[in-house]
Amino acid sequence: MFRIGLIVLVALVAALVGVLVLRPGVAATSSLDPDVTVECTAATGVSDAACGAWGDVILADGSPTTTFEAEDLVRLRLDRGLLGFAGSCAAEWFLSRYPDEVIWTEEVDCPRG
């Protein structure tokens, strides 16, 4: 009986990890700057509307550094560590001249809910 319970527990944990890892992220166009795509990884667990709103809050503060201008931004990726169980979130900034390379990373507030 103990072995069956252990097998069921392992299967449930594996299924939960599979769902967390394999679910897709979401993306939205920023309402502040239509040239910017806000991406939220699956670990954030937010909807596309919430992703866009979260990104707009971050974008409203402007560029996090003087290294680049906010006008150069094309993509903002938001992530939560440890498959969504961590209390900290990160914003990764991508510029038009390096669209596939993170140019700046900063810790940001995670969405409520």
| Residue 55 DSSP class | H
Q: Would you state the pLDDT for residue 28?
A: 96
Walk along the chain (113 residues) and give the pLDDT tens digit of each residue. 778 877 878 878 766 666 666 668 899 999 999 999 999 998 888 999 999 999 999 999 988 888 888 889 999 999 987 655 667 899 999 999 988 999 999 999 888 75
Does the global pTM surpass 0.85?
A: no
What is the domain partition of the chain in residue ranges?
24-108
CA 9/CA 18 separation, integer angstroms: 14
Sign of the CA dihedral with 81 first, then 34, 113, and 106 last? positive
Distances, alpha carbon 18 to alpha carbons 21, 78, 83, in Å:
5, 21, 11
